[in-house]
Amino acid sequence: MDKLTIDTYDKNSSFYADKFAGVGSRIDCIEKTFAAWGGKNPRVLEIGCGDGRDAVEICKRTKHYLGIDASKGMIELAMAKVPHGNFRNAYMENYDFGRDLDIIFAFASLLHVSKEVFEQILTSSKSALGENGIFFMSLKEDDYNGAQVVSDNFGDRKFYYYREADIIEMAEGFECLSVERLVVGRTNWLNIMLRRK
């Protein structure tokens, strides 16, 4: 994730946390992902955990949760919101995901990285996930045209848009379990669940 986007989230963490709260937690996506994995108490990594909105729900379903985010401001909010959660201020691009994870979530976080970085994260995820591990991601759906800078009253953020075919092409070593398209406001979203082969 680039410095421009991180600075915007850092300076306006509370505003964006309130904005994202209005969208609501991804309970349905979380439940489907846990069901697809099929076990109990999985080891879960959330990439781009933000203020902990989804960590609240994930931590109800496992004792083994780690959320990472590049924004220090967001991590501070997450630690206050979910004091029993495990959070780290880290860049997804160079974070060591470890080994033997069961589930990785990336809710609206990979939309801030280029294709090259996305491929790198998929490679790291494949190495980190155990056999049949699940990677669930949500992205803004449109043609990939490199970085698109979006400005609002609080600053600038870079976004990258993806199509299903982009993800499938990059996700070597994964099988696609499900694809869901939805519209939130005026934005097309793409939810994809992958399983490590």
Identity at 54, one-letter amino acid code: D
Domains in the chain: how many in total?
A: 1
**Order of strands across the sheet with 101-107?**
87-89, 64-69, 43-47, 101-107, 129-140, 187-196, 174-184
Residue 68's domain spans which residues? 3-196
* The pLDDT value given to residue 168: 96
Alpha helix locations (H) across 59-163?
72-81, 115-128
Residue 41 phi/psi, 5-degree rounding, is: 55, 55
> Residue 114 belongs to a domain with what CATH number?
3.40.50.150
Question: Please, which pLDDT band fits residue 20 given cuts at 50, 70 and 90?
Answer: confident
CB atoms within 10 A of CB 67: 28
Identity at 138, one-letter amino acid code: S
- DSSP code, position 141: B
* The pLDDT value given to residue 167: 97
pTM check: above 0.85: yes
* The pLDDT value given to residue 47: 98
* Tens-place pLDDT, residues 116-162: 999 999 999 999 999 899 999 999 999 999 999 999 888 899 999 99
Q: Percent of the chain beyond pLDDT 70?
A: 99
* Tens-place pLDDT, residues 92-114: 999 999 999 999 999 999 999 99
Angle between helices 72-81 and 3-11 (to 10 degrees): 40
